[in-house]
Homo-oligomer: A and B are copies of this chain.
Amino acid sequence: MKTKTKPTLGDVARAAGVSQTTASYILNDRAEQMRIAADTEERVRRAAAELRYRPNPSARSLRLASTRTIGLVSDLVAGGQFASQMLVGATTAARELDHIVVIGESQGDPKLERLLIEELLDRHVDGIVWATVVTSYVTLPKALRGQRVVLLNCLDRNQQLPTVVPDEYEGGRTAARLVLAGEGRGRVHVVGERPTGGAFGAWLRRDGIRDELRSAGVRPGTPIPCAWAVQPAFEAVDAFLRGGARPATLICLNDRIAMGTYQALAEHGLTVPDDVSVVSFDGSELATWLRPEATSVALPYAQLGARAVELLLNPEPGGPDVTRLPMPVSTGASLWGATRGGAGV
């Protein structure tokens, strides 16, 4: 019994009784251009189908000097709870452009970063998407010099590289606009501002909120600063309420903060949205798990990932360096006076 080995283009050509060249042209959809007889084409295609022929990608890559592979290196995108949708967007977009994505996760470790880059270069990738889980400034490793790179969810301090980020400023305005509907019953406070940190998304969101409120003639209440996690948010809001404050609306700078905020409100017997309106950012599943579901200005992770890949593979010559993607609203029932789109809870 003969060992069944993968059929080659030569096998197909032989089976169809033509030369490799002809078979190659036909299978690469250049039959028309080459004016090949219809029945020849038919014969070759049939032979290819019968043999279940698949072009050998290695041979093709070797000949074409392109691996049709791109690298996606990130700090915590794959492992994190939220941003992994970026991967889905990226791989899907890549697939549509007939490329594959190799992912590498550095966990923020510069040594690992370097290692991953080495490996990608070893693999002769056609380009690299450099991503971060938190919208922030980065310094690109010098190993990436001269490589085709697109930044995803981050900005480079030094260079001007094609970059894809969410439009956090507009997102901030959106959030403010949402709460403005139920305005008139009290103060609007922002929960989650932080004194320092490379995550500029926080500042842009805050600025957007401030500007939109201002243009509506509303003066924001005292900020409630805290780290971007559940527990710190709980503590900050709890302390705030304990101090006797009676906010009408809380804009939480992300969904985990919203969760902590909900916990603190509950602790004080306050109900969302009857006593306090809440709007949040991120649009993660977490927002939908809260009671009532939180309205959240969403990070368009899948689109971000997809866009980065598209930009990497098909650069727009005259395009802007920085592409900002809009943040859609994920509607819950946490806003007083807002019309709820879906079914009630």
Contacts and interface: CB of A to CB of B under 8 A. Distances in A.
Contact of A81 (B82, B87, B123): B82
A289 B233 CA distance: 11
Contacts of A20: none
Given A101-B103, A259-B289, A56 B124 contact: yes
A84 B78 contact: yes
Contact residues on A (Cβ < 8 Å of other chain), bracket: 35 or more
A85 B79 contact: yes
A231 interface: yes
Interface in A59-96: 59, 61-62, 67, 78-82, 84-85, 87-88, 91-92, 95
A230 interface: yes
Contacts of A62: 56, 58-59, 62
A231 B342 CA distance: 15
Interface string A116-134: 0001011110000000000
Nearest to A83: B84
A interface majority secondary structure: helix
A234 interface: yes
B122 A95 contact: no
A1 interface: no
A193 interface: no
Interface string A28-70: 0000000000000000000000000011111101100001000
B79 A88 contact: yes
A256 interface: yes
Nearest to A266: B266
A137 B341 CA distance: 36
| Residue in A81, A95, A285 with the greatest tally of chain B CB atoms within 10 Å | A81
Contacts of A345: 231
Interface string A4-15: 001000000000
Contacts of A87: 78-79, 84, 87, 103
A91 B67 contact: no
Contacts of A54: 121-122, 124
A84 B80 contact: yes
A122 B48 CA distance: 13
A131 to B, nearest CB: 14
A78 B91 contact: yes
A331 interface: no
Interface string A199-242: 00000000000000000000000000000001100100000000
14 contacts: A6-B124, A56-B62, A58-B58, A61-B61, A78-B87, A79-B84, A84-B84, A100-B102, A100-B123, A101-B102, A103-B103, A256-B289, A266-B266, A286-B289
